[in-house]
Amino acid sequence: MSVFEPGSIVEERKDFIHTKGRQKKSLKCDSDSIAGCVSQRACVYCGARVVLNPVTDAVHLVHGPIGCASYTWDIRGSLSSGSELYRNSFSTDLQEEDVIFGGEKKLTAAIDQLVEKYPTKLVFVYATCIVGVIGDDLEAVCKNASLRHGIEVIPVESSGFIGNKAAGYRAACHALLRLINSGVNQDNNKVEKIPMSVNYLGDFNLAGEAWIIQNYLHPLGIKVNTNFTGDSTYRSLKDAPKASLNIIQCAGSMAFLAKEMEEMFGIPYMNISFLGVEDTSGSLLRIAEFFNSHKAVKAAEELINREEEIVKPLIEGYRREFQGKKAAVYVGGGFKAISLIKQFREIGIEVVMVGTQTGRPEEYETISDMVEEGTVVLDDANPTELEKFMMEKEAHLLVGGVKERPLAYKLGIAFIDHNHDRKHPLSGFAGAVNFAGEVYSTLCSPVWKYLK
């Protein structure tokens, strides 16, 4: 039977979907959504904002009409060990006359006002769609403000329509690089590296996840130099070139930054994943091995043994409850999807549908290699497709973000938030247990009994 029934999938969408074992392996992705579809995707600004927002002591000023700022007010759930400035919502609140006459004056005044009120060394100014169209010269406004106040005022070129979320990740990385590179006679290439230190890229410290990883690396004698960007600050970001290695958790948002930093500061990088026991253990070992330190490797092995001994029986307990259960995955990036497939395998659940908003071709290939025959893989899916395949594949559980939650519930399917709204850390050994626990509490809730 084909997965396509007449009328259920729009013709243009067919290349974005495939079923393992049935068709050619390559999947169309990386292209624009089709006009008139209900897409779960967001915009460039959204991508840039999610990456930069965890910079805790920055003023994040959204240059545009009010909506763009109010929807992103503190929705990230990134925790801070210091400043809480990033949790405010600052907007230039553009009005009709600004759209007609340009918003530069207003932006200038807004920056001055905010800088006066909040002590900060760093202002990010985000461009929204409208700013791209009315043609405000953000560059010039920011530069002048920078000079006037003697702080960094960095424009983020994130007009929503110039691409999708992935383009926003890149815009954010550009802004971060600018921050790292600017300032008084910095020759970052000559910066002395701190031995046994890493920058941890692509962890936004949701529910304190970055802290968990720091605590794992510490006993290995490895120092986390800078976190990108969870719980980061102006100062810590400036220090980034001092690291000897970049480790990347969220490749979707940070691969670009890592490549650039390798070129600029000679920092090698490595993709790692701290989702699930298998990935966490493997990643810790690989990081330790990178430093060629017998001591670090040994410490890693000890830590892994100790932690695995604690968590494996717990996970095994859950595993028994999950027999015969099937999961569907719909998340932002391909890398997370890959980790989740592994993690589900650990807890004995088969993944029958995998989709992402912004997965890259090579990631889809990996996914395709990993999953069982018959699994549906899809890019930029809409709710109708999600429903269709979850029902067809008889999924019991969906992993997704805010918009997918009620969809799953309406279908009588359990749900796990693997996005900004998550409340418990899902990283590391502790996170692996939390994950299994969350799966258990939703999958095995008595509530499903009342459906009929």
Partner 1 sequence: MLDSTPKEMIQRKVGLINPAKTCQPIGAMYAALGIYRCLPHSHGSQGCCSYHRSHLTRHFRDPIMASSSSFTEGASVFGGGANLKTSIKNVFEIYDPDIMAVHTTCLTETIGDDIPSILSTAEVPEGKRVIYASTPSYVGSHITGFSNMTTGMVNCLVEPGEKEKKEQVNVLPGFVNPGDMREIKRMLKELGIKFIMFPDTTGVVDSPMTGRYQMFPRGGARVKDIQDSGSSKFTIALGFFASSEAAFLLDRKCSVPPVVLRTPVGIKATDEFLMTLRNRFIQDIPYELEEERGQLVDIMTDTHFHFHGRKVALFGDPDMLTAMTEFLLSLGMIPAYVLTGSPGALFEKEINTMLKAAGVEGKVRAAGDLFELHQWIKNGPVDLLIGNTYGKYIARAEDIPFVRLGFPVMDRSVHSYLPVVGYRGAMRLIEMISGALLDRADRDAAEEDFELVM
Residues that bind ligand SF4 (CB under 6 A): 43, 45-46, 64-68, 128-129, 160
CB of 172 to ligand SF4, least distance (A): 13
> Which helix (DSSP H) or strand (DSSP E) does residue 370 occupy?
helix 361-370
112-141 residues near partner 1, rule: CB under 8 A: 113-114, 117-118, 128-130, 132-134
Which tokens hold the place of 160?
Answer: 């929503």
Structural contact between residues 267 and 312, judged by C-beta atoms closer than 8 angstroms: no
CB of 47 to ligand SF4, least distance (A): 9
Which of 23/88 has CB closer to partner 1? 88
Segment holding 85, helix H or strand E: none
> Least distance in Å: CB of 423 to partner 1?
11
d(C-alpha 396, C-alpha 377), whole Å: 17
User: Least distance in Å: CB of 160 to ligand SF4?
Assistant: 2
Q: Which CB, 47 or 241, lies closer to partner 1?
A: 47
* Phi, psi angle pair for 400, to nearest 5°: -165, -155
Stretch touching partner 1 by CB under 8 A, among 80-88, 201-209, 392-400, 424-432: 80-88
58 membership: H or E segment, kind and range:
none
Count Cα neighbours of 275 within 13 Å in the Cβ-side half-sphere. 21
Residues 194 and 196: their CA atoms lie apart, in Å, by 6
Residues in the chain: 452
Query: Residue 84 CB, nearest distance to partner 1 (Å)?
Result: 4
CA 104 to chain centre: 31
Binding site partner of 5, from partner 1, ligand SF4, none, Cβ cut-off 5-8 A by kind: none
Q: Positive or negative, the Cα torsion across 383, 386, 391, 396?
A: negative
For ligand SF4, the closer CB: 160 or 230? 160
What is the spatial distance between Cα 59 and Cα 422, in angstroms, rounded to a whole number?
24
Residues in region 379-408 near partner 1 by CB under 8 A: 383-384, 387, 402-403, 405-407
39 binds partner 1 (CB under 8 A): yes
Q: Is 342 in the site for partner 1 (CB under 8 A)?
A: no
State yes or no: residue 94 binds partner 1 (CB under 8 A).
Answer: yes
Cα dihedral angle (27, 33, 37, 43), rounded to 10 degrees?
Answer: 130
- Scanning 16-24, 102-110, 227-235, 265-273 for contacts with partner 1 by CB under 8 A, the matching segment is 102-110
* Contact predicate 419/434, CB 8 Å: no
- Number of residues near partner 1 (by CB under 8 A): 75
Give the residue with the Cβ less far from partner 1, 162 or 177: 162
Of 24, 320, 449, 452, which lies in the binding site for partner 1, with binding defined by CB under 8 A? Answer: 452
Instruction: Choose between 16 and 45: whose C-beta lies nearer to ligand SF4.
Output: 45
Interface with partner 1, residue 409, by CB under 8 A: yes
Q: How far is the CB of 51 from ligand SF4 (least distance, A)?
A: 14
Contacts of 106 (CB under 8 A, 6+ apart): 92, 94, 98
Q: Does 161 engage in binding with partner 1 (CB under 8 A)?
A: yes
For residue 144, the minimal CB distance to ligand SF4 (Å) is: 24
Q: Which does 90 bind (CB under 5 to 8 A by kind): partner 1, ligand SF4, none?
A: partner 1
* CA–CA distances in Å: residue 142 to residues 63, 119, 376, 391: 12, 17, 47, 51
Q: How many angstroms separate the CA atoms of 420 and 422, rounded?
A: 6
